[in-house]
């Protein structure tokens, strides 16, 4: 059994947190390994979390300090060989965490993410995951990962540090963290051996509504990119290179398997990215 902990941050939208916790229970994920960080919710989220005695920890922040602060709090409260940082607007599948970390260990990865299907849950999730895993369990997208769910080996914290704890980053924490990881050549990948359903940035949507932003507007400050310490040309080159990498993976996966490691539900159909 792998030595892991799970931490997730939440802000309102308690109905999604309930679905997430229910899916952890359904799949036998050990709740004593889970730390929930409530970022000052105004709904019944905190009361719900405190009603679950099996949870490994509940941290109640007085205000919304952002993801970086919350993730650090959870990781440090229950320190483990593998720290799994997750969204609360997801549904997990059977054996998801054992499969995730098993692949990381066998492939000598220090950061790893599962495959995703995003959008409405209007399909038979368990059946689709079983079939997708059968086809894709040996497929990897190297040099990329995501913070919908990310398993991080403890050695990474020592090499590049934790998430930047600045509340005003509003979602830019993941960009900064992955930027630091790639500069340090931390091996990472997305695996087809583990799958999640992601309803789609529910917390960010809630925060945008509060700030009267449109759904297509970003929460991050206009000049946060300067924290990357890159020139405009360097940033553009990196973005083009990453898009090219994803395009290459997508085409190869579609050609070999008829699907990819990233699906979106649109009008009752799967769109593979």
Residue 20 sits in a domain whose CATH number is 3.90.550.10
Report the distance separating Cα 232 and Cα 66, nearest Å. 27
Q: Name which of 11-20, 164-173, 189-198, 212-221 the model is least confident about.
A: 212-221
Nearest CA-CA partner of 89 in 194, 4, 206: 206
Mean local confidence (pLDDT), 256-273: 96
Is the Cβ–Cβ distance between 249 and 260 less than 8 Å? yes
Bridge-based pairing state of the strands 82-86 and 4-10: parallel
Boundaries of domain holding 107 = 4-272
| Segment 120-154, tens digit of pLDDT | 999 999 999 999 999 999 999 999 999 999 999 99
pLDDT at res. 153: 98
- Count up the domains in the chain and report the number: 1
Is the Cβ–Cβ distance between 106 and 28 less than 8 Å? no
Report the distance separating Cα 218 and Cα 201, nearest Å. 12
Report the distance separating Cα 15 and Cα 17, nearest Å. 6
Strands (E) across the chain are located at: 4-10, 34-39, 57-61, 82-86, 90-92, 111-118, 140-142, 149-153, 188-198, 262-266, 269-272
pTM over 0.85? The answer is yes
């Amino acid at each position: 059994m792998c030595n892991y902990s799970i931490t997730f941050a939440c802000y309102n939208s308690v109905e999604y947190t309930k679905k997430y916790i229910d899916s952890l229970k359904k799949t036998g994920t050990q709740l004593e390994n889970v730390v929930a960080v409530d970022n000052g919710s105004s709904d019944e989220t905190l009361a719900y979390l405190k009603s679950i005695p099996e949870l490994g920890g509940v941290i109640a922040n007085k205000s919304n300090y952002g993801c970086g602060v919350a993730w650090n709090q959870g990781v440090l409260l229950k320190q483990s060989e593998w720290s799994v940082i997750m969204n609360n607007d997801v549904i997990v599948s059977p054996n998801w965490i054992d499969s995730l970390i098993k692949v990381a260990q066998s492939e000598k990865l220090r950061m790893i993410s599962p495959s995703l299907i995003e959008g409405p849950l209007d399909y038979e999730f368990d059946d689709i995951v079983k079939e997708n895993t059968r086809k894709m369990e040996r497929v990897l997208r190297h040099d990329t990962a995501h913070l919908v769910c990310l398993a991080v080996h403890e050695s990474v914290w020592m090499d590049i540090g934790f998430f930047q704890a600045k509340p005003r980053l509003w979602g830019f924490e993941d960009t900064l963290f992955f930027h630091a990881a790639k500069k340090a050549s931390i091996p990472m990948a997305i695996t087809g051996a583990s799958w999640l359903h992601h309803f789609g940035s529910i917390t960010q949507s809630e925060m945008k509504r509060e700030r009267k932003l449109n759904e297509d507007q970003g929460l991050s400050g206009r000049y946060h990119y300067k924290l990357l310490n890159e020139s405009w040309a360097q940033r553009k080159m990196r973005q083009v290179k990453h898009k090219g990498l994803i395009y290459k993976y997508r085409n190869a996966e579609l050609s070999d398997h008829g699907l990819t490691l990233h699906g979106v539900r649109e009008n009752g159909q799967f769109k593979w990215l």
